[in-house]
Structure 1
Amino acid sequence: MTNFVLVAGAWLGAWAWDDVAVELRSTGHSVHPLTLSGLAEKQAVPAGQQTHVQDIVGEVERLDLGDVVLVGHSYAGVPVGQAALRIGDRLRHVVLVDANVAVDGETFLSGWPSDEVRAAIKENNGVWPPITAADCAGQGMTDGQIARFVDGSTPHPGATLTEPAVMPRPLSELAGTYVKCLLDGDEPWGAAAELLRSDRWELVDMDTGHWPMFSQPRELARILHGSTTGS
């Protein structure tokens, strides 16, 4: 049985995967959505970048999971990439959903204009405030989906965004799938584009916005299922 460990991006917890998890379980998979420290029901837990990596590794080890597909969305691509290297033979596949790629010594904020994010963290006592409904425009979500996203979001611990990844070897050495959400840009860029030069990684496009677990959960679940079958 494939074990999916699902990790959402900034501001989100395990709850963001509810619709995707239902679809995956209906096809016989075991699904383990994970809330990272400092978010959602774990808001009170202090967190840095390595805390989030350990959250993921610890969950896999605590549940004694094998045949693991690690799924990281957006920000979570950074800790998921690091965790993928640490769980060894337990790993089957990595899926990055419109995600940042873990690169040794680089942070989530590396490689894109981030002065505004850094300023927001400084002005808000070390956290990155959630975005608003207006910020979600043009991302393929209904009003109801946007409301669910905004209502469930919590501030994101800033240290996890500014501390560097620790990658003893490149993520390109592992087997993976990169899901590009086309409403958020036509093609992968930066470290994601570099990763896809590896013959161990494949690119899958989705005609939706940056949060497909809300806008197209059934299609996202189909892609995740396909990552275990090669289809």
Structure 2
Amino acid sequence: MTQYVLVAGAWLGSWAWDEVVAELRAAGHGAHALTLSGLADRRDEGRETPIDQETHVQDIVGAIERLDLRDVVLVGHSYSGIPVGQAAERIGDRLARVVFVDSDVPADGKSFASGSATLEASIAENGGFWAPLTAEEYEGQGLDDEQIARIVAGSTPHPGASLTGPAKLDRPLGELPATYIKCLLDWPELPPDVAELMKSDKWRLVEMNTGHWPMFSRPEELARILLGA
């Protein structure tokens, strides 16, 4: 039995994967959606000690080890591709494959916010958190009004230190068995760092004709892709 471990992007929690989890379990596999520290039902954590990038990496590694999961397909969406990519190399032979869903990927010494003075300023202006998007900012992403309302209602401010802290990799990311899912409505071209990783014979590309949040807009299709991974 494959064990899927799913981590949503900024502002979201485990609830974002509800429909995908149901599809994976119906196919006979294990599915474990995680909420990272400081978000959703864990939003009150870290009020005294800042939640940084390493905190989120340890959230993922710790859950996999605590549940003693093996044959793991580790899935990261958007921001969470950065901690997921780091966790993937730390769990060793527990990993079957890592899947990046329209996500950022970690680069040693760089952060999610690297090169974005606007994001860093926004975090500073919002008390150390990245404020969630408004409903209008989800338009054009293949989402209907009900789906947008659900995302907006469930979003929580994202701990800023996790976005500005550097990733730490011990070996090249291209050495991991990986699938990258590109959502074409968001932006049809691969980020340059992902295009470079695609030169590895261990990486493959899958495209979805939807926006940046396919767990809401196309959950059944996304689940089928994950099952194929």
Normalised TM-score (structure 1): 0.96
Instruction: Specify the alignment match of 2:110 in structure 1.
Output: 106
- Deviation of 1:192 (Å): 1.3
Cα deviation digits, residues 175-194 of structure 1 (max 9, x gap): 01000000011121122111
Q: Deviations over 1:145-187 (max 9, x none)?
A: 0000000000000000000000011111010100000001112
> Match for 1:41: what amino acid?
D
- Counterpart of 1:149 in 2: which secondary structure? helix
Going from structure 1 to structure 2, the CA distance change for 1:190 and 1:110 (only over 3 Å counts) comes to farther
The one-letter code of the counterpart of 2:71 is D
Report what 1:211 is aligned to: 213
* Cα shift at 1:68: 0.3
More moved, 140-149 vs 191-200: 191-200
RMSD over equivalenced CA pairs, Å: 0.8
Aligned to 1:180: 182
Instruction: Give the Cα separation in 2 of the matches to 1:162 and 1:118.
Output: 8
1:226 aligns with one of 208, 225, 228: 228
- Report SS of the residue matched to 2:169: coil
Distance 2:189 2:227 in 1: 22
- 1:103 positional shift: 0.8
- Counterpart of 1:204, as a letter, is V
Mapped partners of 2:166, 2:192: distance in 1: 16
Residue identity over aligned pairs, in percent, reads 64
Which residue of 155, 160, 163 maps to 2:162?
160
Report the CA distance between 1:10 and its aligned residue: 0.2
Letter in structure 2 aligned against 1:8: A
Uncovered stretches (5+) of structure 2, i.e. residues with no partner: none
Q: Structure 2 CA distance, aligned partners of 1:196 and 1:99?
A: 14
For residue 98 of structure 1, what is the amino acid of its counterpart? D
By how many angstroms is 1:200 displaced? 0.4
Write the distance in 1 (CA, Å) between the matches of 2:189 and 2:67. 36
Matched, 1:59 2:63: yes
Match of 1:2 in 2: 2
Distance in 1 (alpha carbons) for counterparts of 2:183 and 2:76: 14
Written as runs of structure 1 = structure 2, the 5 A alignment for 1:72-221 is 72-110=76-114, 114-221=116-223
Question: Aligned partners of 1:157, 1:210: CA distance in 2, in Å?
Answer: 21
Q: Distance in 1 between matches of 2:56 and 2:7?
A: 10
- Divergent runs of 4+, >6 A: none
| Distance in 1 (alpha carbons) for counterparts of 2:17 and 2:194 | 23
Give the drift of 1:110. Answer: 2.6
Distance 2:66 2:10 in 1: 24
